[in-house]
Amino acid sequence: MFHSLPNYNLSLLLLILFSQVSRASLDVVQAQVPLRTSFAGTACKQTIFKHSFANSYGVPCVGIYFPPENCTFTTTIFNISVTSKGRQYDRLALLFFGDTEIWRTSTAMPTEEGIYWSYQKEMTVFDALLRTEQKVIFDLSSFYSDLYTGAFNVTLEALYYKDNYVSGLSPPDRIYPISALASAQNISSVMSLPDDNGTVSITFPRNVKTATVSILASGNSAEEFWYTNVPSEYVDTFPGNPGWLYGYSPFREVQLLIDGKLTGVSWPFPLLFTGGVDPGLWRPIVGIDAYDLPTFDIDVTPWLSLLCDGRSHDFGLKVVGFDNSAEDKIETVGENWWVTGAVYIWLDDHGNQTLGGNITTNISPPTFSYHPILTSTTTNGTKTNTSFYFSLTAHRTLAISSTIRTSTGSKQVSWKQNLSFSNIQNMTDLAYNQSLSMLSTGSYSDSFSGTESTYSYPINLYSAYVIAPTTATLSSVFTLIDRSLITKGIDILSSLTGLTLGSESLATRQFGESMYYWNETIVEGTAADTGVTEQWFSYSGHPGLGEDGVRDFSRHLKEVDDAIVTDDERWETMVVPNTKPLPYVEGEPVV
Ligand SMILES: *[C@@H]1O[C@H](CO)[C@@H](O)[C@H](O)[C@H]1NC(C)=O
Ligand SMILES: *[C@@H]1O[C@H](CO)[C@@H](O)[C@H](O)[C@H]1NC(C)=O
Ligand SMILES: *[C@@H]1O[C@H](CO)[C@@H](O)[C@H](O)[C@H]1NC(C)=O
Ligand SMILES: *[C@@H]1O[C@H](CO)[C@@H](O)[C@H](O)[C@H]1NC(C)=O
Ligand SMILES: *[C@@H]1O[C@H](CO)[C@@H](O)[C@H](O)[C@H]1NC(C)=O
Ligand SMILES: *[C@@H]1O[C@H](CO)[C@@H](O)[C@H](O)[C@H]1NC(C)=O
Ligand SMILES: *[C@@H]1O[C@H](CO)[C@@H](O)[C@H](O)[C@H]1NC(C)=O
Ligand SMILES: *[C@@H]1O[C@H](CO)[C@@H](O)[C@H](O)[C@H]1NC(C)=O
Ligand SMILES: *[C@@H]1O[C@H](CO)[C@@H](O)[C@H](O)[C@H]1NC(C)=O
Ligand SMILES: *[C@@H]1O[C@H](CO)[C@@H](O)[C@H](O)[C@H]1NC(C)=O
Ligand SMILES: *[C@@H]1O[C@H](CO)[C@@H](O)[C@H](O)[C@H]1NC(C)=O
Ligand SMILES: *[C@@H]1O[C@H](CO)[C@@H](O)[C@H](O)[C@H]1NC(C)=O
């Protein structure tokens, strides 16, 4: 059974009693909705791989997944567990079954004393893949040396359950990758945009009744903190701090194109990895979704009369940013966005070919409003830029509808999106001092539920860096962050699969303040680091799973200086306070 853990001493006691790892090692957690009220009662389980990732750059772990023998199951959960000890950056890791990416995760940053974590992911939507042999490719590219002494020891385990679902279970019949299709070479099939092509050809069976596409996209290197980037014409605002600012604006749109036509977009969630901005903020509570990067689902059912014509069709992914000098204000982005997609289809078992037509697209380009303000002083005839402030807002709506005719008759189907974005930034002190206030909100409605789903991602971030001029002194960053993730509505894939019935609500907020000092030579924090991060997390839904399903859940977490001081989990919702504005930026984003 599940116990409320009202304080840290009890968690620590349980840790000492049950943990297989050294008691000094720190459990680095991500708040998540438990996938079931109890993980006991598996029909069977197996280890998919165990691997130590040390010097693993471009050398993924390659293995074979065999479906469990003599095991009747409905539900599959993957359990990743990782230990690491030493010095290392946070790393991204991608799990593929063949050419299809099924999980994108990232690592916590280890310590000299050692850390561990485990995280469970619901995999039942991949049922079609889980019942046949698959090549497993887990790419966790990391460096290992005298300086970077932390390896990541990863165990991936599959847990299978034989469950009763209230309305039955209907996982997708087939899954097609939108990826580099490179698994035959034993490498990850991730595509890196804007350099890679991003397009694959797929031939559908003729009798498809529902189709949806899920997209995974994350920015790396100059695009990791895309939401703090500036319009390209301002990257050289502070010549005294060259290379500090990245361009292509803080607006990003990930697009799905079918035969070159826009079918849906994602204005991504601003993800922060465990080394993000200030590593002191994320230990031992990692940033929202760090262990399970979010997908965005686009319902492509309105395109079925076209897609079921027996021919091959192009599915393409693209990432664009705002460019004030471009005619349509849309341009390419910096390197490198790692993207993949997967197309999920459900077959019409009684139909020969899905027909229909009248595909109507009502798509307006994004509208932008952009106001830059540059402040400078002139001393003794020499001009110096002292601050740069700008606001950028964007709006877009998109609607695609059609008629489709399956064995159950004709119906009108549509996919609609409405998106808003506002980003205000203010930088002073050669942009070592940066504040951001961003709000991304939107709604979508799918072809099957009759529900409008909404999301909202506010983020307020203030950071003030002091970069040490020589290795004799420490660098530092003071950071304040207040951000939330609020979603309400239909999770397309889990609803169609029967894992959830109807609407779900999730609200979580992280508020953190940290003073972090590091040594540039050894890329490591120090004993002087102080920080507090508090997280509120509340969920309410309608599980398809019978008695083991989770209806309501909340968790309130707080860490002070790398130790959990509050951890209160309950089978009920909680009030999640709103993200509030931070100092040093005037005005609040309005979308
Ligand atoms: C599966 O069942 C068959 C027939 O009962 C048996 O021969 C086989 O050994 C079993 N395999 C495993 C892995 O248990
Ligand atoms: C996940 O794996 C870890 C390490 O083997 C284990 O301690 C933990 O109990 C597992 N979690 C579940 C839900 O089985
Ligand atoms: C990781 O695995 C390596 C090789 O098996 C081992 O030497 C090391 O002690 C392990 N580290 C941790 C933190 O578990
Ligand atoms: C891929 O890995 C498998 C298993 O390790 C190996 O048998 C095969 O030769 C490798 N293929 C290539 C192209 O390297
Ligand atoms: C991708 O490749 C296809 C086929 O070679 C080509 O038609 C298309 O223009 C390319 N797309 C991009 C974005 O380069
Ligand atoms: C001030 O900023 C503008 C815009 O980025 C830049 O073009 C200009 O060179 C900067 N001026 C100085 C003196 O740094
Ligand atoms: C499917 O094709 C078969 C054989 O041509 C035909 O008998 C049947 O009526 C068709 N079914 C539908 C739903 O069109
Ligand atoms: C398309 O719309 C027209 C006019 O409303 C209608 O007559 C026709 O039946 C529709 N076609 C399909 C395939 O639904
Ligand atoms: C400006 O010029 C005066 C006279 O040459 C000099 O004394 C002063 O230090 C200069 N100020 C700055 C900020 O460079
Ligand atoms: C889109 O959302 C905005 C903000 O909620 C709203 O004002 C606008 O009317 C919506 N547009 C459409 C076409 O639904
Ligand atoms: C940074 O680390 C190096 C290597 O351990 C050391 O020589 C140096 O003194 C350290 N610098 C500071 C400011 O602590
Ligand atoms: C920008 O930041 C500076 C210093 O942090 C502050 O004094 C100023 O009011 C801010 N400007 C705006 C427009 O928010």
Query: Cα-atom radius of gyration of the chain, to the nearest Å?
Result: 24
Strand partners, 506: 487, 539
- Which residue of 367, 396, 418 sits with most ligand 10 atoms within 8 Å of its CB, as the best mutation to test the pocket? 418
Give the model's pLDDT for residue 175: 98
User: Distance (Å, rounded) from C-alpha 464 to C-alpha 476?
Assistant: 8
> Residues near 467 by Cβ (< 8 Å), separated by ≥ 6?
432, 475, 520
Q: Which ligand is nearest to the CA of 182?
A: 4
Q: Whose CA is nearest to atom 10 of ligand 6?
A: 237
User: Distance (Å, rounded) from C-alpha 291 to C-alpha 78?
Assistant: 12
Tell whether the model's pLDDT for residue 184 goes beyond 80: yes
- Which residue of 49, 62, 96 sits with most ligand 4 atoms within 8 Å of its CB, as the best mutation to test the pocket? 62
Q: Whose CA is nearest to atom 2 of ligand 6?
A: 237
Mean pLDDT along residues 70-90: 97
pLDDT digits (tens, 9 = 90+) for 7-35: 222 222 233 333 344 447 999 999 999 99
| Sequence letter at residue 76 | T
Locate 49 and state its tokens: 């791989």
Sign of CA dihedral 271, 273, 274, 279: negative
pLDDT digits (tens, 9 = 90+) for 535-564: 999 999 999 998 899 999 999 999 999 999
Question: Whole-model pTM?
Answer: 0.93
Instruction: Report the atom number in ligand 3 closest to the C-alpha of 85.
Output: 13
Domain segments of the chain as ranges: 10-570
User: Distance (Å, rounded) from C-alpha 233 to C-alpha 294?
Assistant: 31
> Residues near 5 by Cβ (< 8 Å), separated by ≥ 6?
11, 14, 567, 568, 569
User: Distance (Å, rounded) from C-alpha 546 to C-alpha 68?
Assistant: 23
296 SS3 class:
strand
The backbone torsions φ and ψ at residue 171, rounded to the nearest 5 degrees and listed phi first, read: -65, 160
Q: What percentage of residues in the chain have a pLDDT greater than 90?
A: 91
Q: Whose CA is nearest to atom 1 of ligand 3?
A: 153
Q: How confident is the model at residue 471 (pLDDT cuts 50, 70, 90)?
A: confident
| Strand (E) or helix (H) holding 176 | strand 174-178
Q: 522 CB under 6 A from ligand 11?
A: yes
Give the model's pLDDT for residue 586: 54
Instruction: From 115, 90, 119, 106, select the one nearest 31 (Cα to Cα).
Output: 119
Q: Which ligand is nearest to the CA of 235?
A: 6
DSSP symbols for 455-472: EEEEEEEEEEEE--SSTT
Give the model's pLDDT for residue 359: 97
Give the model's pLDDT for residue 582: 83
3-state SS of 209-252 is EEEEEEEEEEECHHHCCHHHCCCHHHCCCCCCCCCCCCCCCCCE
- b/e map of 29-52 (b: 16 or more CB within 10 Å)? bbbbbbbbbeeeeebebeebbebe
Tell whether the model's pLDDT for residue 516 goes beyond 60: yes
Q: 22 CB under 6 A from ligand 3?
A: no
Alpha helices in 292-377 (DSSP H): 304-307
In angstroms, the Cα distances linking 363 to 251, 264, 297, 367 are: 19, 10, 18, 12
Strand partners, 349: none
- Ligand 6 mean position, distance from CA 465 (Å): 21
- Which residue of 192, 199, 319 sits with most ligand 5 atoms within 8 Å of its CB, as the best mutation to test the pocket? 199
The secondary structure of residue 86, as a DSSP letter, is S
The secondary structure of residue 545, as a DSSP letter, is B
- Ligand 10 mean position, distance from CA 418 (Å): 6
Q: Which ligand is nearest to the CA of 588?
A: 12
Tell whether the model's pLDDT for residue 262 goes beyond 70: yes
Q: 182 CB under 6 A from ligand 4?
A: no
How many helices and strands in the chain, by DSSP H and E?
Answer: 4, 31
Locate 130 and state its tokens: 């889980």
User: Distance (Å, rounded) from C-alpha 89 to C-alpha 57?
Assistant: 13
The secondary structure of residue 108, as a DSSP letter, is P
Give the model's pLDDT for residue 10: 27
Mean pLDDT along residues 501-518: 96
pLDDT digits (tens, 9 = 90+) for 198-230: 999 999 999 999 999 999 999 999 999 999 999
User: Distance (Å, rounded) from C-alpha 398 to C-alpha 130?
Assistant: 35
pLDDT digits (tens, 9 = 90+) for 126-152: 999 999 999 999 999 999 999 999 999
Instruction: Report the atom number in ligand 9 closest to the C-alpha of 379.
Output: 13
- Ligand 6 mean position, distance from CA 321 (Å): 22
| Strand (E) or helix (H) holding 282 | none
Mean pLDDT along residues 405-414: 97
Q: How confident is the model at residue 585 (pLDDT cuts 50, 70, 90)?
A: low
The secondary structure of residue 500, as a DSSP letter, is B
* Mean pLDDT score across all residues of the chain: 93
Q: 428 CB under 6 A from ligand 12?
A: yes
Sign of CA dihedral 188, 192, 195, 200: positive
Give the model's pLDDT for residue 528: 86
- Which residue of 19, 55, 111, 153 sits with most ligand 3 atoms within 8 Å of its CB, as the best mutation to test the pocket? 153
Mean pLDDT along residues 429-433: 95
